[in-house]
Amino acid sequence: EAGVTQFPSHSVIEKGQTVTLRCDPISGHDNLYWYRRVMGKEIKFLLHFVKESKQDESGMPNNRFLAERTGGTYSTLKVQPAELEDSGVYFCASSQGTNNEQFFGPGTRLTVL
């Protein structure tokens, strides 16, 4: 069974540009989470989807970040416009139920210059 996949693995953009990250969860997992790890800090929660609905987006840093999960399958996280402090590794995770373990993808390393 395929695990959680994320695309791209790396992205280097300039400040002010737009970037869209994609996450494909494990098939059949209704719960999808986005996390972010900035340099030297812990992994931090961004938001949680249950199917196509946002269950909790309390971790989203500001309105430059927009997450979608149309159709309840894959999800995208768009950063527009990107700022220097947005650099970090963006992880996606999925789980079958909210009480089940979360399976993580390999992350997208975003560098904003």
Partner 1 sequence: GQNIDQPTEMTATEGAIVQINCTYQTSGFNGLFWYQQHAGEAPTFLSYNVLDGLEEKGRFSSFLSRSKGYSYLLLKELQMKDSASYLCAVRVLLTGANNLFFGTGTRLTVIP
Q: Is 44 in the site for partner 1 (CB under 8 A)?
A: yes
Are 83 and 112 within 8 A, CB to CB? Answer: yes
Of 17-25, 42-50, 67-75, 77-85, the segment contacting partner 1 by CB under 8 A is: 42-50
Binder to partner 1 among 18, 51, 106, 113 (CB under 8 A)?
Answer: 106
Q: Is 22 in the site for partner 1 (CB under 8 A)?
A: no
**CA separation, residue 112 to residues 20, 30, 42, 79 (Å):** 13, 31, 19, 11
The contact mask relative to partner 1 for 60-89 (x = CB under 8 A, - = no) is ------------------------------
Q: Is 108 in the site for partner 1 (CB under 8 A)?
A: no
Instruction: Dig out the tokens for 21 from the structure.
Output: 């990250």
Distance CA 87, CA 79 (A): 11
Are 35 and 6 within 8 A, CB to CB? Answer: no
Give the interface size with partner 1 as a residue count (CB under 8 A): 25
Q: Is 107 in the site for partner 1 (CB under 8 A)?
A: yes
Q: Which of 16, 19, 21, 18 is nearest to 4 (CA)?
A: 21
> Which residues of this protein are in contact with partner 1, per CB under 8 A?
3-4, 33, 35, 40-45, 48, 55-56, 58-59, 91, 98-99, 101-107
